[in-house]
Amino acid sequence: MNPQCVSELFRPLTVRSMTIPNRFAMAPMTRQASPGGVPGPDVAAYYARRAAGGVGLIVTEGVRLPDPAAGFPESVPTLAGDDVLAGWRRVTDAVHAEGAMIAAQLWHQGVERSDADGVEPVSPSGVDGTGAPKGRALESDELPSIAAAFALAARNARDAGFDAVELHGAHGYLLDEFLWSTTNRRTDGYGGSLAARTRFPAEVVAAVRAAVGSDFPIVFRFSQWKATDYDATIAADPTELQEVLAPLVDAGVDVLHPSTRRHYAAAFPDVDPELSLAGWTKKVTGAPVIAVGSVGLDTAFRDEGARTEIAPAPADRVVAQFEAGEFDVIAIGRALLADPTWVNRLRDGTLDGFGGYEPRSALSTLH
């Protein structure tokens, strides 16, 4: 491995008011470790350890909106109330003290919310990811209040010292439920065509942009796969992907975060046998992109049985994709849980699995 290849991943990246010191992010991972929604000193220490370990950007666990229907259980942190914001200020101060940036991921669980506490889940059409009835469909006049809840949470995040916010529009949660035809069966202006299904997520982005101002970065996380369907798609080809993403960028998204289960997998193999979803996202929008998905691992996100062969994922494939221009930042999840110093070890050349790197010439022309 040429050390110069790795060193390129340690260049800073500036997005609006935020300068990330390197190209590594901590991926958002739900913890349910904030009793009553208040992040405590243990949460600050948890994120500070990863910042000290070399990660340039931390994206928090999902933070539920200040709406009873938005999230459960109460041990998932929120972003409303003086004690909550004081707790987050401890977190952001601890991360900044280690030289990293931090973004709050804003999360409305939609139909995937548990109703164990008696609160009815809400969604675009009152159906879950299998198409079965669950909860109730949102009325069109309820949508502005949800957009306003995202905006309030984003402004609170900014005031608590966060450097950016990420809107969770992936994995079958509320914003993704509008994008996905299986969960969006609406016949009003928010359903039907792909442009109509993108309308509400774009309105949320616009509301957040208005709340945080022009210089505060907004990240949007999206996915093809859902927890209920690994083979799901919101875009069947690159043209449809552009139709989904362009309105979000136009509304104020600065960075796109395509969530994949394997960062190196081809998104549209019939069009290009190698280009990942991150690569296609960057190609059709030109926006900065965060890639993610089993970085440095050779196991599946969940046990897939005999359905899919799991390909090894040596960490040096990250370098190949970065050199090819597929992404700007790479997010790491489970590897950081096991080893908070993963990034520093990569920088220092003590991380296993970085031998035998070969450039992917087939992608060298991607811009």
- What domain range includes position 356? 3-363
- Catalytic residue selected from 46, 173, 190, 264: 173
Q: Is 173 a catalytic residue?
A: yes
Phi and psi torsions of 271, nearest 5°:
-95, -45
pLDDT at residue 2, as a whole number:
52
Domains of the chain: total: 1
Spell out the per-residue pLDDT of the chain, length 367, in tens. 455 568 899 999 999 999 999 999 999 999 999 999 999 999 999 999 999 999 999 999 999 998 999 999 999 999 999 999 999 999 999 999 999 999 999 999 999 999 999 999 999 999 999 999 999 999 999 999 999 999 999 999 999 999 999 999 999 999 999 999 999 999 999 999 999 999 999 999 999 999 999 999 999 999 999 999 999 999 999 999 999 999 999 999 999 999 999 899 999 999 999 999 999 999 999 999 999 988 866 655 455 444 444 444 456 788 889 999 999 999 999 889 989 999 999 899 887 654 333 333 333 223 2
Give the model's pLDDT for residue 305: 47
CATH assignment at residue 329: 3.20.20.70
